[in-house]
Structure 1
């Protein structure tokens, strides 16, 4: 009896701990920087023209993003301009409001004589009049190779931050908001944590908004990402921000982002769609949807009824191709029901019906499991008649015929409109035959 009571208490404590974490996610107001103008095109088949970017920017603002990255200035061959340069120059020349806007820059270096030389990206940031920056450094052995060493970082980074403070006019004429982005942050924490700690201790004394940590290949487990964020938070107390950017290499990205938030991260940067530099990333669209899922009221500041269509449209623009069908949350099949049991219900904890993010349920015929409600819904989509018009007996016959076809070795994609209507006609004939037999 005592053992049973102890087991119950332990189990209840585990559930209570999970509930405490859910409540933390419900109350967090995440610090988000949208990168739909840069992150998504990096891995896209096509990318974005200047006209595309000019059309996208107001849509991102209308959706609710207050922090938006305009582009990257620390790319290779800086004298060969990119569309990002044209975009930022256009905004400047046409006096378009860039409040809350960022661009990526690289750290300038203090030379052997002690003279600071700004990176070309810093000069562009100043000349393009972009008010804020994600200022990038590398701290792993491989990341620093050929660029600098840790001693150079510790010497140069304060000077680079000071140059930004002295030369960049921030939002509304104030100081620039500077986030130090450790591009290889997870690698550096895993490889040389003492070196990272030294840099973080120095940054805690600098006039910055905070830091960013990347898992740029998406290879670290959620538990590792959470530990790295927690370690960084030990050196960087609030109000300094810690944000993360996590790629989808190992499929951990959204779990890693939640783990980061639970371990002290303030938010994330990324594009609204899933598309990213490799095969995807922990996108802001997915994060917002998942925070809606747990009941976070702060997500109401975004136009949630535009989330799904906007994310989809942006990715289709960059790729000139359909979003992958089986992408969770944002994909074509994410809300195509194969079986009524899988329907997510409004008001049920942890469910996220498609209507909550601007979508609708649709239907997909899978011969093994699709029930009559799903078949009727798919028939409505295909032929335009209300689902209630299709007799239950006919829908049941469609299930029976699909089973018999599979048992006979027939492999037919009934979800395709022509095949579905042929199946329907066969079921109607089967019902007519049964009625005739009953009357005989």
Structure 2
């Protein structure tokens, strides 16, 4: 058998990558939006009841069928949070809660068979929320001070049974119960055999699936992919596997992509970037990246609202602007310093801002900005059409910026006053 040539080996690598792209194009991800909870958790300000009442219809209008209303398994459960007020308000005003979720914690079953539901489970029932992300810990550190494996193995089926017996699900059916393993990456990395035994137990339970968190965002993308693939060995479809990845090492979006390629059905998170730490693999970013590769299922969402809605929600939670240099959603993400960087419709892997409700703007860099960028920035500052500015003047502006730098002058030409001064100097030259 002839030895493959270098070109044949190279083509095999490119073909493998293309198969991954095609898989991502075909996936119809299962999303749970957490813009009402994930984003305000790490925010400077948070959300009031009125804020939440305003946000919910926007999230629904954008296209999310599954929305988490809030968290009920917080510390000091006898001291209500805004989430309690929100869910009680929706219940009292007969709002349509189909597709809604809330976080709950596992109740505890004693060795004698008695079971005590967690306060969050009682609240879920009393507020009429039909579905839950039901949280457990599996790592030794995560379980410490809460329960051991023996207690967990007794309590988990009992807790699931209580939810199925006491919670009225969507349209009066059975509740969707997704077991959220808060320390899932830790558990499957540190104690895989014990974690496997719990996954095997869960595969036999009347639940919708599980969720795995990288709650510190410290696992590399290939590790997250392997963890999902390992979990899938014990949880065959139609059981769902979702992921939630925080920003820790800066590879959170890549981790979610790896999870999808390795058998995850989807993810949960807020639409904006803000999260419980400094950020997370947001649904806004994930949707944008799936649009980037041509996934037709993203047309379910009102994509022309994506960028302004996500940015607006983050501003609400923070009471300060979205960081300028945030990829995809930040102000500078689509401010061109050089026209060659423009992303164009129809070119592989490009995502023009218009595809997600944005538009290109311009940013002056004295080192590289070319004539089209300078004309665009002048148009923004003056309100005149970019075509009004003669090419010879634009070229002279480039020459002057270079001369200024060589003379040791460090000027922020992007600022309107400095830009207009440069323009006048160029016109006078």
Q: TM-score range by the shorter chain?
A: over 0.9
Q: Structure 1 residue 44: deviation in Å?
A: 0.4
Matched, 1:81 2:80: yes
Range with greater deviation from structure 2 (376-385 or 107-116): 107-116
**What is the 5 A alignment of 1:21-420?**
21-420=20-419
Structure 1: distance between partners of 2:363 and 2:343: 15
Structure 2: distance between partners of 1:419 and 1:344: 28
SS class of match (1:334): helix
Q: Structure 1 residue 3: deviation in Å?
A: 9.1
Q: Structure 1 residue 8: deviation in Å?
A: 1.4
1:240-292 per-position Cα deviation (integer Å, ceiling 9, x unaligned): 00000000110010000000000000000000000001110000000000000
Counterpart for residue 10 of structure 2: 11
* Aligned-residue CA RMSD (Å): 1.0
Structure 2: distance between partners of 1:4 and 1:412: 59
SS class of match (1:333): helix
Structure 2: distance between partners of 1:418 and 1:428: 15
1:215-260 per-position Cα deviation (integer Å, ceiling 9, x unaligned): 0000000010000000000000000000000001100100000000
Structure 2: distance between partners of 1:108 and 1:146: 15
Structure 2: distance between partners of 1:261 and 1:370: 38
Structure 2: distance between partners of 1:26 and 1:314: 28
Q: Structure 1 residue 113: deviation in Å?
A: 2.6
Q: Structure 1 residue 19: deviation in Å?
A: 0.5
Structure 1: distance between partners of 2:3 and 2:98: 60
Structure 2: distance between partners of 1:323 and 1:143: 33
Q: Which runs of 5+ in 1 are unaligned?
A: 431-440
SS class of match (1:328): coil
What is the aligned length? Answer: 429
Structure 2: distance between partners of 1:418 and 1:249: 39
Q: Structure 1 residue 4: deviation in Å?
A: 8.7
Counterpart for residue 433 of structure 1: none
1:335-391 per-position Cα deviation (integer Å, ceiling 9, x unaligned): 000000100011101100000000000000000000000000000000101000001
Structure 2: distance between partners of 1:73 and 1:5: 59
- TM superposition score normalised by structure 2: 0.99
Structure 2: distance between partners of 1:318 and 1:145: 33
1:20-58 per-position Cα deviation (integer Å, ceiling 9, x unaligned): 000000000000000000000001010000000000000
Structure 1: distance between partners of 2:218 and 2:162: 34
Larger Rg computed on CA atoms: 1
Structure 2: distance between partners of 1:199 and 1:367: 59
1:295-316 per-position Cα deviation (integer Å, ceiling 9, x unaligned): 0000000000000000000000
Q: Structure 1 residue 112: deviation in Å?
A: 3.6
Structure 2: distance between partners of 1:43 and 1:185: 21
Q: Structure 1 residue 6: deviation in Å?
A: 2.1
Q: Which runs of 5+ in 2 are unaligned?
A: none
Structure 1: distance between partners of 2:151 and 2:178: 19
Structure 2: distance between partners of 1:148 and 1:215: 21
Structure 2: distance between partners of 1:48 and 1:397: 50
Structure 2: distance between partners of 1:15 and 1:403: 41
SS class of match (1:32): strand
- TM superposition score normalised by structure 1: 0.97
Structure 1: distance between partners of 2:109 and 2:4: 65
Counterpart for residue 435 of structure 1: none
Structure 2: distance between partners of 1:366 and 1:375: 9
Q: Structure 1 residue 5: deviation in Å?
A: 4.9
